[in-house]
Each structure stands twice: as structure tokens, then as C-alpha cells.
Structure 1
Amino acid sequence: MQVHIQYMAALRDRFGSGETRLDLPDTIANSEDLIAWLTARHADAAALEAPEIRLIRNDRIVTRPSAIADGDRLAFCPPFTGG
């Protein structure tokens, strides 16, 4: 399964990139599986576990855990503040 992931705002700085395409193992069925898999490979991915991080799947905000499928476009978005 291949997914396209975007890291928004401060998460982009943590990962050193705003986006990536990943080939995932068949064992990953949902967003929490994905986060655990990412965390095992990149310590900064633990930040994605925070409940305030929103998950956007194919241009829609979804609740977590959320199923993921081949070809999904995922974005992890921290809370925004403005002024």
C-alpha cells in the first residue's frame, strides 16, 4: 500500500520535510497503526500521537483511528493559533 503524507506547520519542521510518499506494509490498517510504524522509524513521529493533532484523509478531517487505504492522501495538522 502506498500513501502520500503531508506534515503541516510545526510538524513539517520536526520531520524536516513537508511531505513524503511511503510504501507501507500490509499490517497497517488504520491511522494508529501508521503512527506506531512511523514512530518506530523516526522518534519525532511520537508527536503525531497527541490527541490535538488532526488527521486529514483525502481532504476531509477524520476521527482517529481512521482506516487508511492504498493511494490515500493523509495530512497531520497541529492546532493553529492566530493573532
Structure 2
Amino acid sequence: MQIHIRYMAALRDRLGDGETAHDLPADITDSEALIAHLTRSDAEAAALAAPEIRLIRNDRIVTRPSALADGDRLAFCPPFTGG
């Protein structure tokens, strides 16, 4: 299964990747397994797993854990503030 991932705003700065494509092993079937697979450190895992981080799947905010499918476009998005 291949998916595309974007890290938005501060997550992009913290994790260093803006957008990547990943070929996933068959046992990665949901967002939480994906986070465990992607992270290289406890700090990265905590950054992506934090409850305030929104998961956007194919242009829609979804609840976590969320099932994954081949070709999904995911974005991890921290809360925004603005004015």
C-alpha cells in the first residue's frame, strides 16, 4: 500500500519533511500503526500522537485511529491560531 503524507506548519519544521510518499508493510492498516512505523524517536511519536494534532485523510478531518487505504493522502496538522 502506498500513501502520501504531509506535515503541516510547526510539525513540518520539527520533523523536517514537508511531503513524502511511503510504501507501507501489510500490517500497517491504521493511523496509529502508521505513527509507530514512521517515528524514529519518542519525541517524534509524541508530536504526532498528541491529541491536539488533527489527522486529515483525503481532504477531510478524521477521528483517530483511522483506517488507511492504498493511495490515501494524509496530513498531520497542529492547531492554528490567527487573526
Q: Secondary structure at the match of 1:22?
A: strand
Whole-Å Cα distance in 2 between the matches of residues 4 and 82 of structure 1? 27
Q: CA RMSD in A?
A: 1.0
Shift of 1:50: 0.2
Give the aligned partner of residue 82 of structure 1: 82
Deviation at 1:81, TM superposition (A): 1.3
TM-score by length of structure 1 reads 0.92
Whichever residue aligns with residue 29 of structure 1, its letter is T
**What percent identity do the matched residue pairs reach?**
78
For residue 16 of structure 1, report the CA deviation from its aligned partner. Answer: 1.3
2:31 paired with 1:31: yes
Runs (5+) with no aligned partner, structure 1:
none
Large movers: runs of 4+ above 6 Å: none
Separation of aligned partners in 2, 1:31 and 1:24? 12
Quote the residue 1:15 is aligned against.
15
Aligned residues: 81
Look up the match of 1:45: 44
Question: Which residue of structure 1 aligns with residue 66 of structure 2?
Answer: 66
Report Cα offsets for 1:47-82 as digits up to 9, x if no partner: 101000000000000000000011000000000111
TM-score with structure 2 setting the length: 0.92
Report the CA distance between 1:26 and its aligned residue: 0.4
Structure 2 unpaired stretches of 5+: none
